[in-house]
Amino acid sequence: MLPFWDPDHLALRARVRKWVGENLLPNRSHSSSLEERAIELTKALGAQGFLKYTVPADFGGIRPAVAARDLCILREELARGDALADTMFAMQALGSYRGQSRAETSSVTVNCRRQLHCGICNYGRSSGIRRGVA
């Protein structure tokens, strides 16, 4: 493999690829609405721990800082299975990666979590907030 993939990157790719193969590729027909699918996918991504790659360890993430290589691996594999899965992952990652101000990051991340409760944090559980209620 190319020199910029560490063993943990290869393990992540294998894990995501396996999940995509078992959960996204066999289910090409979608009977629920786009919004319902988006919420289901985001929850599934959180349940698998994939969204933990979108935040630093101080906020429940995997690494001390968000790593672009992790995001690339996850997005590539998710896009292979379902464009919506990739989009929902990207939306969660968008507000937590470098280049955004702290205020922008907080606003985007809190708003996403209020709507989706993806499981990456204890936002809804600790504050009593339910989906769609601020």
Region 6-27: mean pLDDT is 92
Who contacts 109 (Cβ-Cβ below 8 Å, separation ≥6)? 55, 95, 96
The 10s digit of each residue's pLDDT in 67-116 is 989 999 999 999 999 999 999 999 987 766 554 444 444 444 444 444 44
d(CA 13, CA 76): 9
- What is the pLDDT at residue 74? 96
Global pTM reads 0.69
pLDDT digits (tens, 9 = 90+) for 18-45: 999 999 987 666 667 899 999 999 999 9
CB atoms within 10 A of CB 39: 18
Domains of the chain: 7-26+34-127 (1.10.540.10)
- Residue 19, both tokens: 């999940």
Residue 62 CB contacts under 8 Å (≥ 6 apart), including other chains = 49, 52, 53, 70
